[in-house]
Structure 1
C-alpha cells in the first residue's frame, strides 16, 4: 500500500467543508492504491464487495482476494472453494448475505459462516449473477445465454439470440417488479422472472451497443453502454448527460445524488451538481480502464482497474498549493488576521486567503528576493513582514510603507521573528541578534547582552512584561527592568533550539517547541518539564505548537503533525501516566508533504473558525479539530483469523480441545476498518486467565505460554484512535486438557494402589506371625526354655514389623518426593513450584520482603532437537539445569517450568540483585562446553524478571515475568529484561 502513516476514519466526504451539502471536488479526494507488489494476486480487479463480517473481497483472474486492511488472503481453485479455475469474474451477496463467487469454466462457489459450498460447473465463463424473490439464481454467461438455477439445484437455460442480440451476457439486474434486465454486446433485453417460461424482450429504444453495467436509479435504471450512460424511466430512455455521450461505461456506483462512472479508457468520472469531473492516470489512477466500483461501510470509494486497486476518500487535512492559487509551495510563515483572512509567506512571495480564494500580494517594490520568513499583525491591523534578504517590511493599504534593514540599523536582513508591542514598538528577531524599533530608533541585543546565541527564531511577551526569546542555543528571558536571564535546558534532555512559543493562559503555561520535544514552562514557578522521547513521542524535533478549542496541542515537525491529548499531557506532567497518547498525521491524511517547516514565526496558526493551518514544504495543510471525533467509526468489526499452538496452525473450532503439554498459544485477530488499519487499537481478555481487558495497542497477536489446564474464552475488541470500542466482540472458546497425573482419577488410583500394597504386606506379615504363634503353643508344653526363646522371638517380630512399617512410610515419602521432582533434570517440577510460589508470595506479603520471579528459556532449542536429536537435547537441558542451580541459594526454588523453560523463585531478593544473579546464570550457560556432542553447539538463554508487588495475584506475577521473557526473545535473545513495575 502506498500510504502507511496514521489516518483517521471519516464518514463525510470533505472535512474542509463539514457543514456543506455540496460534494468535495474530485481532485480533493485522497488516493491510495494497491497492486501485486502489495499482495494482490492480479492487478485486474473484476469485482468488489464487502461481506457481512466486514471483509473486503476482490475478484481477480488469479483468485478472490480477501482484504482485512493489512494483508490479502487469496482463495482460488482447489478443494477448499471447489472452483474449477482461479479466474473470478464477479462477487455478489445473496439474500442471506452469503458471498457468491462466479468465474471461469462456469465455477460458482458460495462462502457462508459454515464454510465453502460449490455448485456443479456450468462449463462457461459466468459474468454476473442475480437472485430473484423466489430464491432462483440467474447467471449471465459468455456465449450460452442465461441460466436459472432453482433452490433444488435444477437448472434451465435461456438462449437470447433469436435474431435479436447475442448469447453473450455482460450484466444482470432484477428490479422491484421481478423483471430481469440483461446487458448484451448488442443491446438490452428483459424477461419476467415470475413467469414459468419467460419470454425474452428487446429494449428497442436503446441504441444498438454493448451494455456493460446496470444499476437501479430513481425508480428506473442506469444503463452503462459503450456509447454513453443512459437513463431508463417508465419506458423512456435518454442520455443522462450529453457530457457522457460516447463514453464506454464499464462500472457504475450511485452515492446519494452523485453517480460514479468507470470507463473503459477514460478513467473514473463523477456526475454531480458540480458537473462531470474526470480522474485519470494523470491524476493518480493506476490505469484508465475501470472494471468495478464499490462504496464500503466507511464511505470510501473503491475502484478496480486493469492496473490495481485504488481508493478515494476524504482526509482530515486539506492541502493548498500553487495549483490552488498560492504564490509558492514552500511555506515558512502564517498569520490568521483579525479581519478573517489568512496571510501565507512563501519562498516566492506572499499570498492572502479570503473567502474568494488566494490572491498574490506584490512586494517587488521593496523586496528583491520575495522570500518571506515571518509575519505579524500590527496594532492598527497593518502587516509586518520579515524577509530572508530584504529586512523588515511594513505593509498597509495595499503597499509597503516602511522598510528596515542593515542600513536602518538592524543587525541582519534575515528576519525570523516579529513581535509588535502595544505601545507601538516592535521586537525583531534576526539571524544576528535581537532588535527593538520604536520612535527613538533601533536598539540591538547580541550574545554580549545575554542572548545564548544571536540566531533568534521566535518571541513571546507575557502580560507581566517578560520577553521570551527563542534562539538556536536555548531561551533567554528579558525582565521588564532590562535584565537578561537564560532558561537552563541541560536538564531537559539537553534541548538547544527553541523553535516556537505558544502561550496557554488557562494553564498559565508557556509551551516551547525544541529540538528535544515540547517543554512545559510554568509561568508562575519558572519550572520546566520536557515532553519528548521520555513521554513516548516518536521523534525529537517539533517546530510549532498550537492549542485548539478543546485545549489539545498540535505540533508540527519534519515528519508530520502530532496531536497530543490534553488530559494525557496533564497526567504525564503530574507523574500519574508514564507516556503521552498522541496521533501522527502525514501524507496519508491529506498532506502533500509530511515535512512541516519551522524556525520562523509563526509556522502554524489557528483561524477564527477553529481550523489549524500548518506551513509545509508543499503548501499549507489545514485541519478542523472540532470535526474529528464526531466522524469516527463507532462500531468497528473485529474477527479472530488464526490460531497457532506451538507454531502449528489450528482450525478455529469452538470448544476446541488442546492436549496437555501445550507450550505456546498464539491468536491473530483483525479489526476490519480500512481507513487506518495499521493503527487500530485492540484489547483482549482471556477468561480463565485475565481478570480484566488487556490493552494490546496496534498489535494484532495475543500470545500465551504455559497455560494451565482448564476452560478458556478468548475475546477481542477494536477501536480507531479516540473512538469507542467496537460493540461487536469476537470470542473463541477452547479447553486445555490436563496431564494424566493432574487428573483426579490418577491420584485416586495411586492412593488406592498404595493402600492395597500396605494391606497385602501387613496381611502377609500377620499370617506369618500367626503360624509362628501356633507352633510356639505346641512347643510350650514340652520345653519351658524354648517358650522363653519363643517369647524373645515375638519381640524380634514386633521390632521387624515396626521396621517394616517405617520402611513403608519412607517409601511413601520417597514417592511423594518423586512426584514433586522433574525426572530429567532433578529440579522441582511445576506442581512443587506452584506450591512454593504461593508460599513465598504469602511470606513476602506478610513480612513485607522483596520477592522476584525469573523465567528462563533456552534459545533456539527446537533447532538443537532437530539437528542433534532429542537425546542430545535432554543432555543439554541437564547441563543447563546444573548451571542454573549453581547460582541459587538453598532458600531459592529452581524448577523446570516445561520444555526448555525454567523458573527460579528468589525470596528476599530485589530486582537489582536478581538481575545480577541472572546475569551470572546467563554467562555460565553461554560458556558451557558441549563439544562432546558437537563443536558447533553453543547454548544461550533469555531471561525475564518480575518483582512481586503487595497484593499481586500469582498469575499476574507469572504474566509479568513471561511478558519480560517474551520481550527478551523479541529483542534478540541471550539477554535479560526486567518487567516494569
Structure 2
C-alpha cells in the first residue's frame, strides 16, 4: 500500500470516527457487572435510561435500577421474570414480564410505586411474556406473542396478532412487528399493515431492525444473517458484518447516531460496523466481556454502550478518545513504542513485541521477537535503523525481524552525537559506549572510560553530555577520540537561588534544565544556568511537573502527580494545554519512563504499566462534560425521601426532632471510570467547610439540633471536572419543649409568673412595710421600755447606791455607836471601879463638908452609871438596822440561837474578837468557841470564811 493510499485511508477513518466516535484501534474501557454486584438473575433482556441518567435493566429476577452508586431492585407482583422496559419523558417506567405489565411512577416521597395494567385484561385471555415495549406517538405499546396492548389516556385496548407475533421494532417513526405467517407488519392508526415481500422471514426469527441510508431497512435474523429491505425487495447484506452474524447468530442490536450499528451475537460478543457493513470494532470474551452471549444493547445519553448479557451486564466506554492494547493483546508494561517499516514495535518488560501497522488497524495480537525476551528498555529509529536497548544488550532489528546483538551489556537508550554523523552513543549499565557506522553496518566501537555509573536517561548537545543522577547534574565532555570523558563536572543546584533539580530534556533541539516548572539553559561562556522565560511561561500555571518529552509532532508531554498532560502545538509559538483525556491513565504510567509515540494526530501511543494506550487527538472528548450530582435520598427514622426518580423536585423537608438522625446517599450517573467518581458535601448549619473528596456515597448526621439546614453536594469525575452544586433543604423540628407554641406558652407563663411574683412582691412589700412599722413600733417601745428600765435600774442603782451609801453610813454609825458604847461601858466600868474604891474610903473620918462633898460625888457617880442606857440603845439599834439580815439568817438556819444571832451580827459588822468579847461580856476564848460552833452549825468547810458567808446572805 502506497503512502498516498495510507493517507486517504487515514482521512476516511478520521472523518467517520469524528461523526460517531467509534475507534477501530485498540479496545475501549470495559467494565463488567456480575450478578453478585447487582444481586439479581443472570440474564438481562432489555435496558433503558431515564432523564436523570439512571440505568434500568429488565432482568429475569426483576427490574434493576443503577444510579452509578447503588443498585435497587423492584419486583413485579407474581412475576419476577421481566423482559421489557421503556421510560417516557416524564419518568414513568413501563415494564413487562410474564403475564404482567404496568408501570412504576414515583410518589410524593420519590419512591417508585407500581401500577398494574394487566388487571384491565380479561382473566380469560392469556398474556404470556411481554417481550417489547414501545412509546409510539402518544401510545404505549406492550407486545406479547399473541397480542399488543395499547395503553392511552388510562385506557387499554388489545390488538390480536394475525397469527402469532415474534418481536417488534421501532425504527425512527415507524413501528414494525413480525408475524410468523404474515411477515412484517407496520402498526399505524390502530391497525396492522403488512409490508410486501416480507413473508420471506416467516421461517426465521427477526431480532433486529435498523435504519440504513435511502430509507432502507437492515433486518437481522437469528440464524440466516443480515438482509436489506427496500420497497418490497429483500437482498442479502453481503458485508463483513453479515459474515460474522451468519457464523455467530444475531440477537438484535442498536444504532449509534444513525452512523454505526451494534450487532449482538449468540456466540462471539458484539461487533460495531458502519453503514457499509465494515466492522469497526469487535468485543468478545477474549477482549474483556464476561460472557459471549449478548441479549440486548443500549446507547446511553453520552453515547456509551451497555450490554445485557446472558450472564451479567457490561459497560463499554465508546465516548473516549483513548483505547487500550493490554493483556488481551499479550502486552504488559510498555517502556517505548515505534512504527517502522509497516510494523508497530513495543518494548516491554517481557521483550519486544510487534504487530502489523496498517489503516484500518486489524485485530491482531502482538508477537514476541525472538532473542528479545527479557527487559526491553527502549526501541528507537536512528538514521533508518531500528535499535533496541535491552537487558541482554544493544540489538539491531532488521526488516525481517532478525536480531543482531551489537553489545552484550544491558542498554537503556541511544542518541546521535552532534557533528559526528557516523557515531552513536549508548547508555548502558556501566556508563556509556560508542557505536560506529561502518561498511558492514552499525558496530560496537568502545566503552567510554571515566564514568562507570548506569545511566538510564541523558541528553547531548554540541559541547556536552548532560546527565541527571542522584539529584546531581553531570556535565561531561567527550575526548576527540570518543574513548574517555575529558571533563566531568557536577552541579547540585541549577543556581544559587534555585534549589534542587527536576529534569533534563531536549525540546526543539535545545537542552533544558527544569525545576519547579522553571526552565533554564546553560551558558558556556559564563559557565552558568540562566532562566528561559518563554519556556517557563508555558509551564507557569501548570501543576509541578516531574518529566517532559517532545513528540514527533512538536507537542510537549509532561508528567505530574502520576498523571499526564500535553501542551499541544498549535503553531510555532502557541500551545494548548490538554489534561482531561488522560486522567484515566493516572497511576498507570511507568515511573521515570515517559513513553509517547506520536505517529500522527490520530495515532498517538502512550506506554502504561498494563499495556499501550492509543489516543486520537482529533476526536472530541464528550465524556469530559460536566457531571451531574444527585442527593439520591434522605432518610430518617420513620421515613425515606428518594430523589432522582422521575422529574426531580427538591422540596423542603421537615424532620421531627425525635428523628434527628439523618442519612444521605449520593449518586452521579457518570458511568465512565465509575470507580473514580468522588463526592464532596457540606451541611450548612452544621459543617463549617466542604468535606474532602471521597468515593463514599453515604453520609449520616446524628443528634442534629432544631433549625434550618441545607445539604450541598458536588461530584467530580475521573477527568477532574466538577458538577454544579445540588442542594436539599430540610428543617429539624424542635422538641415540644422548644417548639414555637411551647415558647409562646413559656412567654405567657413567664408573664403570669412575673405578674404573680410582682403581686406577691408588692403584697410582701406592703406586708413588710407593715411589719417594719410594727417592728419599728416594737423596737421603739422596746427601746422606750429599755430606756425606762434603764432609768428605773438607774434609779434603783441610785437608790441602791444611796442605800449602800446609807448602809455604809449606818454601818459606819453602827461602828461608831459600838465604839462609843464600848467607851461608855469602859467608862461605866471605870466609874464602877471608882464607886468600889469610894466604898473602901472611911467617910467617918472626914469632916462634914468633905463627907458631904464625898457623898455628893459618890451619888453623882452612881447616878451617872445607873442612868446610862447606851448598851440597850446599842442592841436596839443593831436589831433595827440588821433586821432583814437576821430574818434571812433565821430563815436559812432556823436552829440558830439569839446569842448566835448577836454573834453573827457582830461578825457581819466586822468587829474584832476583843470587841465582841467586851460586848458579849465573855473572854476572847469564849468568842473563838462561839465562832467554831457557829461554823459547824452553818456546815462550813475549813477554807470557807465565816464573815464572807454571812455577807452573802
- Return the TM-score normalized by structure 1: 0.58
- Is residue 485 of structure 1 aligned with residue 481 of structure 2? no
**Which residue of structure 2 lines up, in the alignment, with residue 859 of structure 1?**
none
Which consecutive unaligned segments of at least 5 residues does structure 1 have? Answer: 1-12, 78-82, 406-411, 490-494, 513-517, 529-541, 568-579, 791-981
- 1:11-30 aligned within 5 A: 23-25=22-24, 28-30=27-29
- 1:866-877 aligned within 5 A: none
Secondary structure of the 1:733 match is strand
Asked if 2 retains the 8 angstrom alpha-carbon contact of 1:458 and 1:500, the reply is: no
- Is residue 137 of structure 1 aligned with residue 128 of structure 2? no
- In the alignment, which of 722, 726, 730 is matched to residue 730 of structure 1? 726
Structure 1 residues 90 and 399: CA distance shift in structure 2, 3 A: closer
**Which residue of structure 2 lines up, in the alignment, with residue 467 of structure 1?**
466
Equivalent-residue separation in structure 2 for 1:546 and 1:291 (angstroms): 46
Equivalent-residue separation in structure 2 for 1:198 and 1:344 (angstroms): 59
**Which residue of structure 2 lines up, in the alignment, with residue 108 of structure 1?**
102
Equivalent-residue separation in structure 1 for 2:232 and 2:624 (angstroms): 42
- In the alignment, which of 179, 200, 207 is matched to residue 201 of structure 2? 207
Structure 1 residues 421 and 75: CA distance shift in structure 2, 3 A: same
**Which residue of structure 2 lines up, in the alignment, with residue 250 of structure 1?**
251
Structure 1 residues 51 and 476: CA distance shift in structure 2, 3 A: same
**Which residue of structure 1 lines up, in the alignment, with residue 301 of structure 2?**
297
Equivalent-residue separation in structure 1 for 2:451 and 2:282 (angstroms): 60
Structure 1 residues 519 and 431: CA distance shift in structure 2, 3 A: farther
- Is residue 190 of structure 1 aligned with residue 185 of structure 2? yes
Asked if 2 retains the 8 angstrom alpha-carbon contact of 1:186 and 1:210, the reply is: no
**Which residue of structure 2 lines up, in the alignment, with residue 655 of structure 1?**
652
**Which residue of structure 2 lines up, in the alignment, with residue 127 of structure 1?**
130
Q: CA deviation at 1:265?
A: 4.7
Equivalent-residue separation in structure 2 for 1:431 and 1:662 (angstroms): 69
Structure 1 residues 188 and 678: CA distance shift in structure 2, 3 A: same
Q: CA deviation at 1:764?
A: 3.2
Asked if 2 retains the 8 angstrom alpha-carbon contact of 1:45 and 1:292, the reply is: yes
- In the alignment, which of 601, 618, 622 is matched to residue 614 of structure 2? 622
Structure 1 residues 96 and 211: CA distance shift in structure 2, 3 A: farther
Structure 1 residues 268 and 443: CA distance shift in structure 2, 3 A: closer
**Which residue of structure 1 lines up, in the alignment, with residue 161 of structure 2?**
160
Q: CA deviation at 1:477?
A: 0.8
Structure 1 residues 249 and 308: CA distance shift in structure 2, 3 A: same
Equivalent-residue separation in structure 2 for 1:203 and 1:381 (angstroms): 62
Equivalent-residue separation in structure 1 for 2:656 and 2:509 (angstroms): 61
Equivalent-residue separation in structure 1 for 2:762 and 2:720 (angstroms): 76
Equivalent-residue separation in structure 1 for 2:90 and 2:166 (angstroms): 25
Asked if 2 retains the 8 angstrom alpha-carbon contact of 1:184 and 1:212, the reply is: no
Asked if 2 retains the 8 angstrom alpha-carbon contact of 1:544 and 1:604, the reply is: no
Q: CA deviation at 1:67?
A: 1.2
Out of 306-315 and 17-26, give the one that drifted further. Answer: 17-26
Secondary structure of the 1:54 match is coil
Out of 275-284 and 668-677, give the one that drifted further. Answer: 275-284
- 1:670-685 aligned within 5 A: 670-684=667-681
Asked if 1 retains the 8 angstrom alpha-carbon contact of 2:187 and 2:193, the reply is: yes
**Which residue of structure 1 lines up, in the alignment, with residue 628 of structure 2?**
637
Q: CA deviation at 1:53?
A: 1.1
- 1:726-805 aligned within 5 A: 726=723, 729-739=725-735, 740-741=737-738, 744-745=743-744, 748-749=747-748, 751-769=750-768, 785=781
Q: CA deviation at 1:754?
A: 4.5
Asked if 1 retains the 8 angstrom alpha-carbon contact of 2:680 and 2:692, the reply is: yes
Q: CA deviation at 1:110?
A: 2.6
- In the alignment, which of 291, 298, 308 is matched to residue 312 of structure 2? 308
**Which residue of structure 2 lines up, in the alignment, with residue 428 of structure 1?**
426
- 1:875-954 aligned within 5 A: none
Aligned length, in residue pairs: 693
Q: CA deviation at 1:61?
A: 1.2
Asked if 2 retains the 8 angstrom alpha-carbon contact of 1:544 and 1:603, the reply is: no
Asked if 2 retains the 8 angstrom alpha-carbon contact of 1:184 and 1:211, the reply is: no
**Which residue of structure 1 lines up, in the alignment, with residue 605 of structure 2?**
613
Q: CA deviation at 1:640?
A: 1.6
Equivalent-residue separation in structure 1 for 2:59 and 2:715 (angstroms): 30
Out of 18-27 and 715-724, give the one that drifted further. Answer: 18-27
Asked if 1 retains the 8 angstrom alpha-carbon contact of 2:333 and 2:609, the reply is: yes
Equivalent-residue separation in structure 2 for 1:754 and 1:187 (angstroms): 92
Equivalent-residue separation in structure 2 for 1:18 and 1:550 (angstroms): 22
**Which residue of structure 2 lines up, in the alignment, with residue 973 of structure 1?**
none
Equivalent-residue separation in structure 2 for 1:764 and 1:19 (angstroms): 96
Equivalent-residue separation in structure 1 for 2:352 and 2:393 (angstroms): 12
Secondary structure of the 2:693 match is strand
- In the alignment, which of 147, 150, 154 is matched to residue 149 of structure 2? 147
Kindly indicate which of the two structures has a greater share of residues assigned to helix. Answer: 2
Asked if 1 retains the 8 angstrom alpha-carbon contact of 2:207 and 2:250, the reply is: yes
- 1:475-514 aligned within 5 A: 477-480=474-477, 482-485=487-490, 487=492, 502-503=505-506, 510=513
Q: Deviations over 1:646-700 (max 9, x none)?
A: 8996666832212347765442211111112222344445455678876635443
**Which residue of structure 2 lines up, in the alignment, with residue 711 of structure 1?**
708
**Which residue of structure 1 lines up, in the alignment, with residue 854 of structure 2?**
none
Asked if 2 retains the 8 angstrom alpha-carbon contact of 1:42 and 1:61, the reply is: yes
Secondary structure of the 1:107 match is strand
Q: Deviations over 1:240-265 (max 9, x none)?
A: 44645697543231222322222445
Equivalent-residue separation in structure 1 for 2:74 and 2:613 (angstroms): 41
Q: CA deviation at 1:135?
A: 3.8
Structure 1 residues 396 and 126: CA distance shift in structure 2, 3 A: closer
Secondary structure of the 2:754 match is helix
RMSD of the alignment, in Å? Answer: 5.5
**Which residue of structure 2 lines up, in the alignment, with residue 181 of structure 1?**
176
Equivalent-residue separation in structure 2 for 1:503 and 1:764 (angstroms): 101
Equivalent-residue separation in structure 1 for 2:716 and 2:594 (angstroms): 35
Asked if 2 retains the 8 angstrom alpha-carbon contact of 1:429 and 1:435, the reply is: yes
Structure 1 residues 202 and 643: CA distance shift in structure 2, 3 A: same
- Is residue 260 of structure 1 aligned with residue 269 of structure 2? no
- 1:150-549 aligned within 5 A: 150-153=152-155, 155-160=156-161, 165-166=163-164, 169-171=166-168, 173=170, 176=173, 181-186=176-181, 188=183, 190=185, 193-195=188-190, 205-213=199-207, 215=209, 217-218=211-212, 219=215, 221-226=217-222, 227-241=224-238, 243=243, 248-255=249-256, 256-265=258-267, 267-272=269-274, 273=276, 275=278, 279-314=283-318, 315-319=320-324, 332-334=335-337, 344-345=346-347, 373-375=377-379, 378=382, 385-391=388-394, 405=407, 413-424=409-420, 426-435=424-433, 444=447, 449=450, 454-461=453-460, 465=464, 467-468=466-467, 470=469, 477-480=474-477, 482-485=487-490, 487=492, 502-503=505-506, 510=513, 545-546=548-549
Q: Deviations over 1:332-371 (max 9, x none)?
A: 544689x99976556655869876789999999xx89898
Asked if 2 retains the 8 angstrom alpha-carbon contact of 1:546 and 1:605, the reply is: no
Asked if 2 retains the 8 angstrom alpha-carbon contact of 1:681 and 1:720, the reply is: yes
Asked if 2 retains the 8 angstrom alpha-carbon contact of 1:27 and 1:279, the reply is: no
- 1:799-878 aligned within 5 A: none
Q: CA deviation at 1:100?
A: 0.7
Out of 304-313 and 109-118, give the one that drifted further. Answer: 109-118
Asked if 2 retains the 8 angstrom alpha-carbon contact of 1:450 and 1:476, the reply is: no
Equivalent-residue separation in structure 1 for 2:328 and 2:248 (angstroms): 28
Secondary structure of the 1:678 match is helix
Equivalent-residue separation in structure 1 for 2:437 and 2:715 (angstroms): 63
Asked if 1 retains the 8 angstrom alpha-carbon contact of 2:581 and 2:621, the reply is: no
Secondary structure of the 1:47 match is strand
- Return the TM-score normalized by structure 2: 0.60
Q: CA deviation at 1:271?
A: 4.1
Asked if 1 retains the 8 angstrom alpha-carbon contact of 2:209 and 2:252, the reply is: no
Equivalent-residue separation in structure 2 for 1:23 and 1:582 (angstroms): 16
**Which residue of structure 2 lines up, in the alignment, with residue 889 of structure 1?**
none
Which consecutive unaligned segments of at least 5 residues does structure 2 have? Answer: 1-11, 439-443, 478-485, 495-499, 523-527, 532-544, 569-578, 644-649, 787-953
